[in-house]
Amino acid sequence: YGLDFYGARTVPGFVGNASGLVFSRPLAGRYVFQFTSNCDAAVCPNTANAQLTSDSLEITVTAGVPHRLEFAQSLPTRYDSNVTFPTFDIRAYDVAGNLIPSSHMNVTASVTPSVHALVGASSRLQDGSATFDSFKLIGKRGVAYDLTFTIGAATLRHGVNLFPCSQIKPHSATTDD
């Protein structure tokens, strides 16, 4: 009895089938699993513990690293020159689709081709999203720009076209004489 009580056995203490517990991209949260076991008297005639005490396993899953970014609201794609964007949010998700909570990381914007200035191009991730409230692109009219927002390995692209002068001020277009 003493050896069995302390878990030191000369023969296996388990005979039967078992399979592992596998999570495939679980959502963030707290999971509690309850385990019980019994052994029918016909199968285990000499056991003192035909019914074992139940046990539980608690697993807490937290959001992982940023894997995917998305805009919380749609942004226009065509602007006049010196674009001041309306306030917008970018949400960050891990590979399982969990919203990333507050982080020490920033979502940062870059643009190609290069512009005269890109203002407010970085925002801290808080409560799952980064808020850009003073984002401004100062570029040339008639040029298509590609904005790329990045946090870790996750990226999000958005195209922006600045109206050419001829569309903003039609009278400024050259005429044939």
Q: What is the pLDDT of residues 90-128, one digit of tens each?
A: 999 999 999 998 778 999 999 999 999 999 999 999 999
Q: Which of 163, 164, 159 is nearest to 74 (CA)?
A: 159
pLDDT given for residue 157 in this prediction:
97
More confident residue, 95 or 34: 95
Confidence class for position 52, pLDDT limits 50, 70, 90: low
φ, ψ dihedrals at 168, nearest 5°: -80, -45
More confident residue, 154 or 18: 154
* Residue 31, both tokens: 């999971």
Q: Which of 164, 160, 165 is nearest to 145 (CA)?
A: 160
- Ramachandran region, residue 142 (left: φ > 0; alpha: ψ -120 to 50; beta: rest): left
* Residue 81, both tokens: 């020159």
pLDDT given for residue 10 in this prediction:
56
pLDDT given for residue 97 in this prediction:
92
Average pLDDT over residues 129-133: 96
Residue 4: CB atoms within 10 A of its CB come to: 11
Strand partners, 19: none
Predicted model pTM: 0.70
Tell me: pLDDT of 76 over 60. Answer: yes
Taking the C-alpha atoms of residue 146 and residue 132, their distance in angstroms, rounded to an integer, is 17
Whether residue 84 contacts residue 119, with contact meaning beta carbons closer than 8 Å, is answered with: no
* Location of structure tokens 């003192």: 48
Tell me: pLDDT of 9 over 80. Answer: no
pLDDT given for residue 70 in this prediction:
96
pLDDT given for residue 2 in this prediction:
43
Q: What is the pLDDT of residues 35-44, one digit of tens each?
A: 776 777 777 7
Tell me: pLDDT of 14 over 70. Answer: no
